[in-house]
Amino acid sequence: MTARRAAETLFLLAGFAALTALFFRQALPDLSAALIGPPEDNLQDFWNSWYVVQNHAQGFFFTRLIRAPEGVSLIYHSFAYPQIFAVWLLSRIFGTDLPTLVLLQNLTNLASFPLAATGAYYLCRYLGGGKLGSAAGGFIFAFNPWHIAQVMHHAHVAGIEFLPLFALCYLRALDRKSYGWLAGAIAFYVLSALSCWYYLFYGFYFLAFHLLYLRVHEHRWPRGWRLAAPALCLAGAGLLLSPLALPMALNGFKDNAYQIGGNIFSADLLSYLAFPPNHVWGRLSEGLYHSFTGNPWEAGVYLGLINLALLAWGFWRTKGDARRVLWYALGGMIFFAALASGDALHWRGETLPIHMPSIVLSKLPFFANVRTPARAIVFVYLFLGIAVAMAVTTALTRKRSLWAAGALAAILGLMLIDFFPSHIQTTPMRCSGFPVLARDQDKDFAVLDMPFGYREQNFYMAQQICHGRPIAQGVVARQLAPTLTDHLTITDLAQQRRQLAAARVKYIFLHHPKNGMFTWDTPIDGDPELYRRAYPVVADQAGITILRVY
């Protein structure tokens, strides 16, 4: 890398980092005290970062810290490997106390913005975009509302920073017939897959799309190097990922490895134009988001009205190579939007009788684990960034006037506003202490948190960071075998006590309802008052009643 290119890269990283700080300005004062995002999967992601700095006597991919006493396999768990490795490495320098781990968790997640934007910038530059246009393309890829929502909910899905570098290296390898660039493509493909296993499939789909594009553009199937390159890319990535991918694939033939979602967590046709919940004008689309299937952070695939207007203008005004790149980008957008639609097209939450390619993919072994098709939108944003980069570049090469320059500046400003978040939620992280557990000299026991609930179980995992004891609850991406809480009796507390004692679950934490969480559902969770009568109360603190089993 030349000194000039290094300086340009540092300038881009600094500029996009400043933009990240602007977008997340509400969270900056509490970066070491609160996790970015509402209490949900971000708590599980934080547990992942804490887990990586612990000792792993039984190996990294099996733990009894959660789902005690049996423990659980983590081979399918949603680790964002590059992100947790960065936390592990930085914790060797800065320590592992709670505020430091919270800060490292937030910073490693936020780093995906400048890194992803800079990578997309260079991809746009390689395809013919000018500097300003490529910066706009990088902004669209990194700062879109979907990525912002994923940073608040899923650290692994938010790890998009290696995808544009994978595409860049692959296209360079094809054009230059270079094994060196192909090795770079394989490396960034592997890093993308290690960030999120969905990206292993999306990288494969990108290679398939590019082959299809060459077939349509050149009226014949690619041969020689251009056919060998994607095969070598897949083989190289498969070889490097095989220590993890093979056990996953073997377990992927088991029914309990699959979960529903192929026709639920999909991109609704209206969601491409509907302002997402965290948008400045999100309230205008609030009713629409209530009708969409899935949840708002997966359904929020807003492309931006300004971006779509620029795309249309680009097709009107561009010619030659720029127009060819626009067609390439539009083809990529349509290809991945079809994948993001799930098993069938959706309109305002209703399933239309128009099946999509994913209906086949969701029936294939192993491929069926990609149960959240809306996440394919990440490549739609990448291709949209390329298209907008070409449109802006075309605008800058036309006859310049003060009026035209002012209009373009206004459009770029509106593009920024159109993706600007109105509210960034956070989850405070603090330890109130557990003196009952600290005084207990017994080292071999676990804790049962009640009530049940998905968000609640994520909270219990984060709370474990404070007391360090194994817990009977907990959430993993794919639970391959049942554990105690899957067959724990709720109606017969005498029998329950025998079950818990045999499993060495010594304490029960009864969490009091708070902030919309820990709502007790009697048929599922039992009656908390009956628990208090059946077990001795040893502490009542900070919204938790602690009961002793034995």
* Cis peptide preceding 38, ω within 30 of 0: no
Predicted confidence (pLDDT) at residue 73 exceeds the cutoff of 70: yes
* Domain co-membership, 411 together with 543: no
3-state secondary structure 82-115: HHHHHHHHHHHHHCCCHHHHHHHHHHHHHCHHHH
* Domain co-membership, 400 together with 445: no
CB 517 within 8 A of CB 456: yes
Task: Specify if 379 maps to a domain.
Answer: yes
Sequence letter at residue 526:
G
* Domain co-membership, 361 together with 459: no
Task: Specify if 451 maps to a domain.
Answer: yes
Among candidate residues 418, 444, 475, the one where a domain is terminated:
418
Dist. CA 164–CA 123, nearest whole Å: 6
Predicted confidence (pLDDT) at residue 212 exceeds the cutoff of 70: yes
Predicted confidence (pLDDT) at residue 129 exceeds the cutoff of 90: yes
* Domain co-membership, 540 together with 477: yes
Predicted confidence (pLDDT) at residue 257 exceeds the cutoff of 60: no
Cβ atoms within 10 Å, residue 257: 21
* Domain co-membership, 130 together with 196: yes
pTM (predicted TM-score): 0.94
* Domain co-membership, 414 together with 281: yes
pLDDT given at position 247: 86
Task: Specify if 260 maps to a domain.
Answer: yes
Predicted confidence (pLDDT) at residue 83 exceeds the cutoff of 90: yes
Task: Specify if 46 maps to a domain.
Answer: no
pLDDT given at position 408: 87
Dist. CA 347–CA 225, nearest whole Å: 42
pLDDT given at position 256: 56
**In the sheet where 537-541 sits, what is the strand order?**
446-450, 505-511, 544-548, 537-541
CB 460 within 8 A of CB 471: yes
pLDDT given at position 360: 85
End-to-end Cα distance, the chain: 65
CB 430 within 8 A of CB 30: no
183 φ/ψ angles, rounded to the nearest 5 degrees: -65, -40
Dist. CA 77–CA 84, nearest whole Å: 13
279-327 per-position pLDDT tens digit: 888 889 988 998 999 888 999 999 999 999 999 999 998 888 899 999 9
pLDDT given at position 492: 95
Q: Structurally, how many domains does the chain consist of?
A: 2
Calculate helix-pair angle for 131-143, 3-23, nearest 10 degrees: 40
Name which of 72-86, 129-143, 427-441 the model is least confident about: 427-441
Rg (CA), the chain: 25
* Domain co-membership, 496 together with 392: no
Task: Specify if 362 maps to a domain.
Answer: yes
In the structure encoding, which two tokens stand for residue 85, read together?
Answer: 């490795």
In the structure encoding, which two tokens stand for residue 63, read together?
Answer: 């733990």
Structural domain of residue 451, as residue ranges? Answer: 431-548
Sequence letter at residue 459:
F
Dist. CA 465–CA 99, nearest whole Å: 12
Task: Specify if 199 maps to a domain.
Answer: yes
Dist. CA 321–CA 432, nearest whole Å: 62
CB 304 within 8 A of CB 336: no
Predicted confidence (pLDDT) at residue 1 exceeds the cutoff of 80: no
Among candidate residues 385, 418, 451, the one where a domain is terminated:
418
255 vs 24: which has the higher pLDDT: 24
Q: Residue 496: pLDDT band by 50, 70, 90 thresholds?
A: very high
Residues in the chain: 550
CB 421 within 8 A of CB 278: yes
In the structure encoding, which two tokens stand for residue 325, read together?
Answer: 């790149």
Dist. CA 335–CA 317, nearest whole Å: 24
pLDDT given at position 259: 67
Among candidate residues 418, 448, 467, the one where a domain is terminated:
418
466-489 in b/e form (b: 16+ CB < 10 A) is ebebbbbbbbbbbbeeebbbeebe
Dist. CA 422–CA 268, nearest whole Å: 23
pLDDT given at position 50: 97
* Domain co-membership, 511 together with 381: no
Average pLDDT, the chain: 93
CA geometry: angle 419, 155, 101, nearest 5 deg? 115
pLDDT given at position 366: 74
Give the residue from 70, 73, 479, 72 showing the smallest Cα distance to 257. Answer: 479
CB 42 within 8 A of CB 152: yes
By three-state DSSP, how is residue 125 classified? helix
Dist. CA 85–CA 276, nearest whole Å: 32
pLDDT given at position 248: 83
* Domain co-membership, 115 together with 148: yes
Dist. CA 46–CA 215, nearest whole Å: 45
9-51 per-position pLDDT tens digit: 999 999 999 999 999 999 999 999 999 999 999 999 999 999 9
Predicted confidence (pLDDT) at residue 399 exceeds the cutoff of 70: no
Predicted confidence (pLDDT) at residue 138 exceeds the cutoff of 90: yes
Which segments within 394-522 are labelled E, that is strand? 426-428, 446-450, 505-511
Predicted confidence (pLDDT) at residue 255 exceeds the cutoff of 80: no
457-489 per-position pLDDT tens digit: 999 999 999 999 999 999 998 888 899 999 999
Mean pLDDT of the region 407-416: 92
Dist. CA 378–CA 371, nearest whole Å: 15
* Cis peptide preceding 451, ω within 30 of 0: yes
In the structure encoding, which two tokens stand for residue 537, read together?
Answer: 């109360």
By three-state DSSP, how is residue 121 classified? helix
Dist. CA 408–CA 40, nearest whole Å: 40
* Domain co-membership, 398 together with 444: no
Mean pLDDT of the region 137-144: 98
Task: Specify if 339 maps to a domain.
Answer: yes
By three-state DSSP, how is residue 36 classified? strand
Residue identified by tokens 């959240």 is 372
* Domain co-membership, 240 together with 150: yes
Task: Specify if 255 maps to a domain.
Answer: yes
CB 120 within 8 A of CB 142: yes
* Domain co-membership, 388 together with 489: no
CB 501 within 8 A of CB 522: no
Cross-strand pairs, 539: 546
Dist. CA 482–CA 64, nearest whole Å: 13
